[in-house]
Amino acid sequence: MLVCFFVIAVNGQDDNARQDTSWKKKYRETHEQVNDLVHTKLDIKFDYAKAYAYGKVWLTLKPHFYSTQSLQLDAKGMEIKSISIVKGKSTLPLKYEYDGFVLQIALDKTYKGGENYTVYIDYTAKPNEVKVKGSAAINDAKGLYFVNPNGEEKDKPTQIWTQGETEANSVWVPTIDKPNQKTTQEFSMTVPDKYVTLSNGKLTGQKKNGDGTRTDTWKMDLPHAPYLFFMGVGDYSIIKDSYKGKEVSYYVEKEYAPVARKIFGNTPEMMAFFSRITGVDYPWVKYAQMVARDYVSGAMENTTATLHQESAQQDARELVDGNNWESTIAHELFHQWFGDYVTTESWSNLTLNESFANYSETLWDEYKYGKDAGDAQNFNDMQGYLQSGSDKKDLVRFYYGDKEEMFDAVSYNKGGRILHMLRNYVGDSAFFKSLNLYLTTNKFKAAEAQQLRLAFEEVTGRDLSWYWNQWYFGGGHPKLTIDYVYDDNAKKVHVIIKQTQAGDKVFRLPIAIDIYNGATKKRNQVWVENKIDTFSFDYTSKPDLVNVDGDKMLLTEKKDNKTLDNYIHQYKYAGNYLDRREAIDFAGRNIGDPKAWELVKTALKDKYPGLRNFALSKVDFRKENIKKEAEPIIADLAKNDPKSIVRAVAIGLLSNYNSPEYKDLLIKAVNDSSYSVAGNALEGLSKVDPASAMTAAKKLSAGESKGKLTESIMKVLIKSGTEADFDAVAKAYDKMPLGQEKFNLTPTFCDLISKLNSTDKFKAGVDAVVKFRDGIPEQYGVGPVIDNFLKSIVTKKEAAKNLVENKTTIQEQIDYVKGKIGGERKGF
Ligand SMILES: [Zn+2]
């Protein structure tokens, strides 16, 4: 699963804030396998009006090893009509107990280990009525979701989709809902004939029923875990590609059919790439990807049937800036190997799924777009972990409050970096051979982290317990201070590496120290393994640079005490993405030094667009000489850079120059096909000519806009607009899909609401924010943050009230927004 973290909310979460710490004593053991699933045959029919599903399921099981006469199944919030055992062509009713969550079934006799039997259950699933024990209805683990089931919301399609991970598919099908179970399946879904369906495996039959419905049968002949079951229903265009004769398809809303290949079209090449590096050809019968409305959880790797949230559907103009969903496409696809083919045996070991999916984003970028792109992805993911503030957690955790907490920056981002360092340590060839061994040894089974270690040990012949103990079964990361002492008399350089992280833990780090004289590099492999290590190297002439962690692969926070001259050399000769980035960063912090500015100026033409933008962020416009010298370079980037994301930033910066020529350029660029160029131009224009910006923003708000442009239109309208412009802003806000972008804009939108006089407009604005808040499942922790935005409206209105004579209107507005803060969260 790819969790689209709401950044503010996640940073706000902290285990220390939790009052109940009883989880610290609760060891999360792997679920005992008493009975094993063998095959799941399901007939299911949907009742849109009630948001129910009527199911009949035939579960074939067998005792795992020991004989048993009982069967425990997960079945959440169901109405159970009957349970029986299948005996040839007849059935025999079974006794059972049901508490709304778990079915305890007494079998007709004792079954021996490995002896198959089939249980039949007739039931109704009521996903909207599932209750957590002694609590209100839940919104975040309904398993089965009906979107606009009765067509009441205009402009919104009617859809059904499921989300199983972690243990929610047992809301719509009784099963053993644990990741260490695997089953083959045959799902027959009866749906209105006008819709298409998607499920795991192959579509083997379609039958019209004569009552306006149709029954589609999907078959999975290879076993997989219940949390990977999937059903999707809706009005979709299906665009078909293929990989080695297997169907690869993209389910998108009809208006996105023309751009579906631009979004998903690299999938077959990714399948070939991942098949090649793992040495395991794509294992499943087909691969489909579907986009769903109101799906907040990013994306989910249901076997052969990945589900993506709406953000995947980008229009042609958004795609001008690049496909920002491609990493997610890689992530979910790599799960088809790591997660679906070999599955974590417990949520404690979740990183066995997520570290690989996360790392696939780096691997794909490196392969497809070059080493800089891969390194940039690796660096960004590392920052995601470092900024998450969760460095105390172990990667594999046997103690946690709720299993959903495992889906964090440790399991994902840190796990990915641990794989990256491991790859550097053992080498590419051993790394990928070990992955192959892990996959082939554990295929169609569940695994734990030690099984990954054993695969690496068998391939490399090395004992790797230290690596697993340090990184998988321990927390934290090294914080390094690196100093250099050059002794010209002795002709020696001493490299002093201090580990400054809190606590007793000392990391063992195999790294390269590269010593440069001019373009010549001499590499030294060393082990950092003490609180303080000193490494001494002889030289004949004083080195221009000593570069610790020459491959820039370490997961670390470091204070690297190099000089500006060292960094200038590093930028030019060391050459990795991070070598260059560090040099730009240092120069940017010392921009007053002419040599530092020279470095930044060089970096404005870096071969990697992300670093050109990073260098642009370091231009200091308060310094006249820099401002002047940068002008022709920025103007050139604004007009001619091949990447729209660089042109966008450069165009925005032109507003720092009071030149009519640039004003014309900004006015023109407001209509650029790239949303980021248009958005930055609009904001730039608002600085040099607010009136023109306002005119442009009003005109643009009437048309289509998304992403950066929507954000910029709203900013300009909010800054310079009048109350009359509010409807346009509110409409644009309401149309934005649930996600980070909308979340980021919400404070600005609330600021605008606080300035409204019209109570009707005011209420409409507040309603739009509340609708957004209530559409996000509670687990994201966003609700209270949005309530704080709403409270800021109250504060501003209270202040405004003091300045007017007639306080009635403002008081009505204050009361209205107060009534919307907090309260019971409703799901979608
Ligand atoms: Zn994932």
- Ligand 1 centroid–CA 334 distance in Å is 9
Task: Find the angle CA(314)-CA(355)-CA(30) to the nearest 5 degrees.
Answer: 120
Cα 298 to averaged position of ligand 1 atoms, centre (Å): 9
For the residues of 269-296, what is the DSSP string, one character each? HHHHHHHHHHTS---SSEEEEEEETT--
Q: How far is the CA of 173 from the centre of ligand 1 (A)?
A: 23
Nearest to 634 by CA among 680, 675, 667: 680
CA 247 to ligand 1 centroid distance, Å: 23
Span from the CA of 301 to the centroid of ligand 1 (angstroms) = 7
3-state secondary structure of 545: strand
The pLDDT score that the predictor gives to residue 442 is 98
* Band of pLDDT at residue 631, cut at 50, 70 and 90: very high
Question: Ligand 1 centroid vs 26 CA: distance in angstroms?
Answer: 26
Question: Which has the higher per-residue pLDDT, 727 or 213?
Answer: 213
Residue 267, CA distances (Å) to 284, 322, 439 in order = 14, 16, 21
Peptide bond into 344 cis (omega under 30): no
Instruction: Check whether 775 has a pLDDT greater than 90.
Output: no
Mean pLDDT across 485-494: 97
CA of 348 to the centre of ligand 1 (A): 15
Distance CA(704)–CA(57), nearest Å, equals 47
| 186 vs 794: CA distance, rounded Å | 55
Q: For residue 739, how far is its CA from the centre of ligand 1 (angstroms)?
A: 17
Q: State the pLDDT confidence band at 301, using cuts at 50, 70 and 90.
A: very high
What pLDDT sits at residue 124?
98
pLDDT tens digits, residue range 144-192? Answer: 999 999 999 988 999 999 999 999 999 999 999 999 999 999 999 999 9
Can you tell me whether residue 163 is helix, strand or coil? coil
What is the 3-state secondary structure of 783-825? Answer: HHHHHHHHHHHHHHHHHHHCCCCCCHHHHHHHHHHHCCCCCCC
Q: How many angstroms separate the alpha carbon of residue 10 from the centre of ligand 1?
A: 17
Instruction: Kindly give the distance from the C-alpha atom of residue 352 to the centroid of ligand 1, in angstroms, as a whole number.
Output: 10
For 374-402, what is the mean pLDDT? 94
The predicted-structure confidence for 672-685, as pLDDT tens digits, reads as follows: 999 999 999 999 99
How far is ligand 1, taken at its centre, from the CA of residue 337, in Å? 12
Mean pLDDT (the chain) is 93
Q: Give 300 or 137, the one with higher predicted confidence.
A: 300
pLDDT for residue 727: 85
Please answer whether residues 714 and 748 qualify as being in contact, where contact means their C-beta atoms are separated by less than 8 angstroms.
yes
Q: How far is the CA of 225 from the centre of ligand 1 (A)?
A: 15
- Predicted confidence (pLDDT) per residue in 682-723, tens digit: 999 999 999 999 999 989 888 888 888 988 888 888 777 778
- Which one-letter DSSP state was computed for residue 461? -
Residue 12 has pLDDT above 70, yes or no: no
Is 597's pLDDT higher than 50?
yes
What spacing in Å lies between the alpha carbon of 410 and ligand 1's midpoint? 13
* Amino acid, res. 161: W
State in Å: Cα 74 to ligand 1 middle: 24
pTM of the model: 0.93
Q: How many Å lie between the centroid of ligand 1 and the Cα of residue 472?
A: 18
Percentage of residues in the chain having pLDDT higher than 90? 83
Amino acid (one-letter) located at 591: I
| 344 C-alpha to ligand 1 centroid (Å) | 12
Say if residue 16's pLDDT is above 70. Answer: no
Q: Which residues surround ligand 1, an ion (CB under 5 A)?
A: 1-2, 354, 357
Taking Cα atoms as reference points, which of 743, 748, 744 lies closest to residue 729?
Answer: 748
> Cα of 419 to ligand 1 centre, how many Å?
15
Average pLDDT over residues 397-413: 93
How many whole angstroms from 403 Cα to the centroid of ligand 1? 15
The amino acid at 783: G
CA 357 to centroid of ligand 1, rounded, Å = 5
Burial of 419 (0-12, 13-18, 19+ CB in 10 A): buried
User: Among all chains, which residue has been given the structure tokens 């606590």?
Assistant: 503
